[in-house]
A and B are shown apart, each in its own frame.
Chain A
Amino acid sequence: TQLLEQSPQFLSIQEGENLTVYCNSSSVFSSLQWYRQEPGEGPVLLVTVVTGGEVKKLKRLTFQFGDARKDSSLHITAAQPGDTGLYLCAGEKAGNMLTFGGGTRLMVKP
C-alpha cells in the first residue's frame, strides 16, 4: 500500500479548465514536495512546502500543505497543454528520504 495516496490517478481536461490534485497520508511529514515528470525524463521539483497550512503559488499553480502536515493539494488554474505530465507528491521523513505518491497523470487537450 502507498504511504501517500494521490487522487485522481488520471485526469483528462480541456484547455482553460481548473483542476485540483490531492495527496493524502496518515503520516506526518517534515516537508512535502511536488514534482512534474515528462515521459523519459526525471522528475523536476516544482515546490517544497514545510509549514502546516502553508500556501505557495507558482504562476497558475497553487500548492497547499495541510495544517497537520499529512496532506497537500495542487490546484492548477486555466490549464494549458503545456501542463500535461505526471505530477508526483513526495513526503520527506527522517533521513531526508522521500516517499512518493502514486502520481497523477494529467492530459490537457487544446
Chain B
Amino acid sequence: GAVVSQHPSWVICKSGTSVKIECRSLDFQATTMFWYRQFPKQSLMLMATSNEGSKATYEQGVEKDKFLINHASLTLSTLTVTSAHPEDSSFYICSAMTRAYEQYFGPGTRLTVT
C-alpha cells in the first residue's frame, strides 16, 4: 500500500510555455500533499504544502503565481509551472501524507525547459 504516482515522469518544454505535473495517491486518501524540487546532486527543497479544498502554503522564496498548485480531490494534486524558463529545469517530487502522518513520495518528474 501507500503508493504515490506522478505524471509525466519526464517532460521537455519550450521556454515560455506552461507544464502541469500530476501527483496521485493510488491506494489512500491524502488531505495533505507536498511538492519538492531537487536540483542535481542536491537534497530536496520543500516548495509548498497542498491541502485538499484550500489554498496551498508556499515556502519563502517560492513564487505562488509561477508555481500553481491545485489539490482538487483527496487523491490528486497538480503543480503547474507557468511561463517556464530554463532555470525552472529540475526534478519535481511530490509526497502524500497518510492518516498516520507518514509521507510517501512519488517517483518524481524531470522537467527540462529549452
Query: What does the 1/0 interface line of B37-51 toward A look like (CB < 8 Å)?
Result: 000011111100100
Asked if B108 and A42 make an inter-chain contact with CB atoms under 8 angstroms apart, the answer reads yes
Residues from chain B with Cβ under 8 Å of A88 in the complex: 43-44
A35 nearest in chain B by CB position: B105
B10 nearest in chain A by CB position: A40
When the two chains form the complex, which single residue of B44, B93, B104, B107 contacts A45, counting CB atoms closer than 8 Å? B104
Residues from chain B with Cβ under 8 Å of A98 in the complex: 34, 46, 95, 103
Which parts of A41-67 form the interface with B (CB within 8 Å)? 41-45, 48
CB distance from A84 to the nearest CB of B (A): 15
Residues from chain B with Cβ under 8 Å of A33 in the complex: 103
SS of B interface (majority): strand
**Number of interface residues, chain B, beta carbon within 8 A:** 24
**Taking each of B32, B43, B93, B101, which has the highest tally of chain A beta carbons within 10 Å of its own beta carbon?**
B43
Of A14-22, A74-82, A101-109, the one with at least 4 CB within 8 A of chain B: A101-109
B65 CB-CB contact with A under 8 Å? no
Asked if B46 and A99 make an inter-chain contact with CB atoms under 8 angstroms apart, the answer reads yes
A34 CB-CB contact with B under 8 Å? no
Q: How far is the CA of A103 from the CA of B102 in the complex (A)?
A: 20
Query: What does the 1/0 interface line of B90-112 toward A look like (CB < 8 Å)?
Result: 01010101000111111110100
A100 CB-CB contact with B under 8 Å? yes
Asked if A103 and B46 make an inter-chain contact with CB atoms under 8 angstroms apart, the answer reads no
Asked if A42 and B43 make an inter-chain contact with CB atoms under 8 angstroms apart, the answer reads no
